[in-house]
Structure 1
């Protein structure tokens, strides 16, 4: 990796080290208080929000790039990442954003500057435990904040489309693969797991059918503990059997939702 002396040096000379016209955008999902949330950055010198994004070094694997970009842009590490789509609309890049940032930073960039070119972007989505995340903005950003997926601010370029595609992909994966380990605390109740699934799918699920289906997969361990401090009958706590969970991630479920 290259250590740039300043943000301006990165903007002017970064094209020498990164793959031309290819970027990575990351949709980071978290779950809190019955809401699916997305982590967004406020672009410095532009006052608009966008996804954590970055570029691929010429000798770097794209999966390694996605992990590095998340670490550099948000401080997050060791989280689940899934590549889901390539966005290649010729009009997806808005060079006016880059020009405005250059202008506010006092940079005079040539017309063929690498950041002013058309970019294809590879989408990744990440699933994280909201309670464990302490994301911080980098020097390209003013803030790094969670937003409810149903109440997102206006996003730069095609980032709103990327978020929606990530959500549709997550919903598809949810029907064939386990989801929850990266979004819930280590111990959770069956109603909490059902609430997560309902929030992602955007629909209500029958309680008995949901519990029967989830238990049939063999990925849950029922604990002897019960959730305390609830108004009604205290529900039992569950945890994921990680060996079976990861096997299901690799092989998928035998029957979908």
Structure 2
């Protein structure tokens, strides 16, 4: 943010005649180019005094100095396909390693931690991976994705048993080529069953 040494999460503002979810979709597309991806609201942040310390250099007449709420959304995207876009009040917008996060303004570190906690919890009843993996992938690919989000290793056998038990995959009669060992089987998501699982939930939690 211009005039601010700390980093902040990218965001935007809700139009006077705009629904909140519509605003989130618009802002995501404007700041990243991403659309038609999984996007979900997870928490509202509005403690008193949340902006006073970091934004005290601004004139009191600017609305940033007044109390305002932030509605948090997280999206599942392939970061290699996303180019963050700087807005009118920012000097930079870029990806950061979650294990090496810089100092963050206001309560944005809490917003990030709440998003990660929500995503980890939702792994218990919602599938992920559609926007984060190639169209065809292996079970080790999917396991690596889950381990990254959960921040811990998972048993290969138990992971595969559980995932295949969800019955949301299409097994292909081909294997990934390369390597001296037997190549792993390729899968893709069954779109009808995947979307149904997003609505009804998964039958076995992590």
Which of 54, 79, 83 matches 2:37? 79
Partner residue, 2:6: 48
State the shift of 1:51 in Å: 0.8
**What pairs up with 1:5-154 in 2 under 5 angstroms?**
43-94=1-52, 96-97=54-55, 99-100=56-57, 102=58, 109=59, 111-154=60-103
Q: In the alignment, what sits opposite 1:175?
A: 124
Give, in whole Å, the separation in 2 of the partners of 1:81 and 1:94.
30
* Cα distance between partner residues in 1 of 2:118 and 2:151: 13
Give 1:112 deviation, angstroms.
4.0
Of residues 217-226 and 189-198 in structure 1, the stretch that sits farther from structure 2 once superposed is: 217-226
* Higher strand proportion (structure 1 or 2): 1
Compare relative contact order (CA 8 Å, sep 6+) and give the higher one, 1 or 2. Answer: 1
Report what 1:210 is aligned to: 159
TM-score normalised by L of structure 2: 0.91
Cα deviation, residue 138, structure 1: 2.6
Separation in 1 of the partners of 2:180 and 2:97?
27
Assess, with a 3 A threshold, how the Cα gap between structure 1 residues 146 and 96 changes in structure 2: closer, same or farther.
Answer: closer
Match of 1:21 in 2: none
TM-score in terms of structure 1 length? 0.74
5+ residue gaps, structure 2: none
Q: How far apart, CA to CA, are the structure 1 residues paired with 2:84 and 2:70? A: 23
Unmatched segments (≥5 aa) in structure 1:
1-42, 103-108
The alignment partner of 1:86 has SS state of: strand
1:226–1:234 CA contact under 8 A, matched in 2: yes
